[in-house]
């Protein structure tokens, strides 16, 4: 019967370091890394590049019940924050703020993010309204998206 030390050693996976020496990676750490790697395409974090970026933006914009009204608010925000007038920058910042999770939870994560912004005082005043920074960025994304649509 193997000793406790042998059982612990058997649970370790050996992975080479950059210099070729083997390193011990615990079974749990290995499984966590595999799980995160499998979930990454489902997260917002994966969504801010290339084709995934446009799908992520579309999912964000689908949260808006009144895209044209949101675009008006977004233009006001961008007038005061012209350095943020890039879709990829806004998408990346929203992605970072929303954290990881499946797209099916995007609405809930956006609501949590807005509450967190208010708690932290990360708000902006737009046309007399106090808006969370994340909501303002989502509206700015709508403004930029509507400006780029033909017609």
Alpha-carbon span 95 to 87, nearest angstrom: 12
Give the pLDDT of residue 53.
72
Q: Let me know if residue 4 belongs to a domain.
A: no
Q: What pLDDT is attached to residue 3? A: 54
Predicted local confidence at residue 109, as pLDDT: 95
Residue 30 lies in a domain: no
Residue with tokens 């917002």: 44
Q: Which residues of the chain have a pLDDT value below 50?
A: 6-49
Residue 80 lies in a domain: yes
Q: Rounded to the nearest 10 degrees, how much is the dihedral formed by the CA atoms of 116, 121, 127, 133?
A: -50
pLDDT at res. 6? 44
Q: Which of 51, 60, 55 is nearest to 109 (CA)?
A: 60
pLDDT of residue 141: 97
Predicted pLDDT of residue 2: 52
User: Considering the domain boundaries, does residue 106 fall inside one?
Assistant: yes
Q: What DSSP string describes 80-149?
A: H-GGG--HHHHHHHHHHHH-S--GGGHHHHHHHHHHHHHHHT-EEEETTEEEEHHHHHHHHHHHHHHHHS
Main-chain dihedrals φ then ψ at residue 43, nearest 5 degrees: -95, 165
User: Following CA atoms 135, 80, 91, 149 in sequence, which dihedral angle do they give, to the nearest 10 degrees?
Assistant: 100
The total number of structural domains in the chain stands at 1
| Domain-located, residue 54 | yes
Tell me whether residue 82 is in a domain. Answer: yes
CA 139 – CA 130 distance, rounded (Å) = 13
pLDDT one-digit tens code per residue, 34-65 = 443 333 333 444 444 455 678 889 999 999 99
What is the structure's pLDDT at 103? 85
Domain that holds residue 80: 47-148
What is the pTM for the complete model shown?
0.66
39 lies in some domain: no
Q: Residue 64 domain-assigned?
A: yes
DSSP string, 15-55: EE-TTS-EEEEEHHHHHHHHHHHHHGGGSTGGGGSHHHHHH
């Amino acid at each position: 019967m193997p000793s406790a030390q042998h059982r612990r050693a058997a649970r370790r996976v050996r992975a080479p370091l950059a210099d070729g020496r083997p390193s011990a990676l615990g079974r749990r750490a290995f499984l966590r890394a595999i799980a995160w790697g499998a979930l990454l395409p489902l997260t917002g974090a994966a969504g801010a590049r290339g084709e995934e970026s446009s799908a992520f933006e579309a999912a964000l914009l689908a949260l808006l019940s009144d895209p044209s009204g949101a675009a008006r608010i977004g233009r006001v925000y961008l007038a005061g924050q012209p350095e943020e007038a890039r879709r990829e920058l806004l998408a990346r910042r929203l992605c970072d703020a929303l954290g990881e999770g499946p797209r099916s939870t995007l609405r809930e994560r956006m609501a949590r993010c807005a509450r967190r912004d208010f708690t932290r005082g990360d708000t902006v005043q737009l046309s007399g309204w106090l808006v969370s920074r994340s909501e303002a960025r989502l509206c700015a994304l709508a403004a930029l998206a509507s400006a780029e649509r033909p017609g």
